[in-house]
A and B are shown apart, each in its own frame.
Chain A
């Protein structure tokens, strides 16, 4: 299988240097734009309204940097040759970057910055039925985990290494599906279509299980063109790295449940004490 890679190289069917650079720039550019636009919006909105929380901006910068580190530079170069590096990229681009970016509440910032007419139009889009379907935890999980199953259990992974367009599409999908999945589970931004905690908890458990099962499957059945040792390392990285990020997701979901189910009596007492103060 190792040999296969070299054969592709000498034949030139593997993505060549120039095309590789093009793919990297194509993927990195939107993230650079997102970074600039967010910071600009935070600046404008802080001047017009009260200060936009600095920790949200920090989450956004860290999230976008995670994504950029994956799509351009040394990690992106190594990911072509080394499946473990590719898996590291998957964890950062598909899980950590979306989580950090969701915690930055970008939609709230956009709503605050836009004028009322535009903000209303945007909120109408967010309330529309396609967004509702996309944001359902089950649909989001299928797009996210299902996409990974498709990538690693078919020839798609090998094809992606040889076709620039496919490479860009797969990476875009991994990020977007990861983001939609994250915001369908934890509500940081206002969500027009909310589902109950129990529903989200059950879907989250099944989705995490799908992720764990896939990582052990990769360990045992390397995707085409991936050497056994790299598949074993990559599978274990996916399993344990996924666990760490999932733990944060679970913690936030449970914490939101904990806050929402505050006993009513103490809520009333809180308000009484506020009034009397």
Chain B
């Protein structure tokens, strides 16, 4: 009798644990790991998007950027290769992360877009200062007065970082409100 009771107790405990696990995997969309994943998915997508625009618009359509510049340093070549491969992977991977968040009902669009702008801004600033200027990978455009181009490029990057960070902070303060008072309920 006592032994059976103990068995039932153990079984019940196990089921309770499994219920909690189930919740963590699918239902609890406020869990911090999902919030972080929204941010990361957006961040990686933003990074990939900027790299893609850089390649498609500035290299291929406008022919402003050059494939290789005689003054490119070898560290510039390595940095370009790593970022090129990483951004290619990030674009595809982040969209699969987005699909994963959606199927788990854990997508927070404000936070995701904040991540996109933050990632885009940070990568563009890195490209515009360190890769273009310090490693002299290539310039934005050749045979022109370069300063206005550099300023537009980098100011745009800073604006994206600021707007992205604002969106993320706003999304965070919203998710910290008790459930009933939230203005935005994801579904």
Contacts and interface: CB of A to CB of B under 8 A. Distances in A.
Interface of A: 201, 204-213, 216-217, 219-220, 235-236, 239, 243, 246-247, 250-251, 254-255, 257-258, 261-266
A216 B89 contact: no
Contact of B96 (A209, A258, A263): A258
Contacts, number: 78
Interface in B59-114: 67-68, 72, 77-78, 80-82, 84-86, 88-89, 92-93, 96, 99-100, 103-104
Contacts of A235: 67
A213 B103 contact: no
14 contacts: A204-B89, A205-B82, A207-B85, A209-B78, A212-B80, A213-B77, A213-B81, A216-B68, A216-B81, A220-B68, A235-B67, A239-B67, A264-B26, A266-B103
Contact of A206 (B25, B85, B88, B100): B85
B88 A247 contact: yes
The 9 closest A-B pairs by CB, nearest first: A213-B81, A208-B85, A265-B26, A209-B85, A212-B81, A209-B81, A254-B96, A209-B82, A263-B26
Nearest to B21: A264
A219 B67 contact: yes
**Most chain A CB within a 10 A radius of its CB, from B21, B67, B81, B82:** B81
B151 interface: no
A247 B85 contact: no
A271 B78 CA distance: 48
The secondary structure that dominates the B interface is helix
B105 to A, nearest CB: 9
B159 interface: no
Interface of B: 21-22, 25-27, 67-68, 72, 77-78, 80-82, 84-86, 88-89, 92-93, 96, 99-100, 103-104
Nearest to B59: A240
A247 B92 contact: yes
Contact of B99 (A236, A250, A258): A258
A3 to B, nearest CB: 25
Contacts of B27: 265
B22 A246 contact: no
A254 B81 contact: no
Contacts of A257: 96
**Most chain B CB within a 10 A radius of its CB, from A204, A216, A217:** A216
A264 B22 contact: yes
B16 to A, nearest CB: 16
A61 B78 CA distance: 37
Contact of A236 (B67, B89, B100, B103): B67
A216 B83 CA distance: 14
**Most chain A CB within a 10 A radius of its CB, from B80, B85, B92:** B85
Contacts of A266: 26, 103
B112 to A, nearest CB: 17
A217 B89 contact: no
A209 B88 CA distance: 10
Contacts of A209: 78, 81-82, 84-86
Contacts of B88: 208, 243, 246-247, 250
B100 A216 contact: no
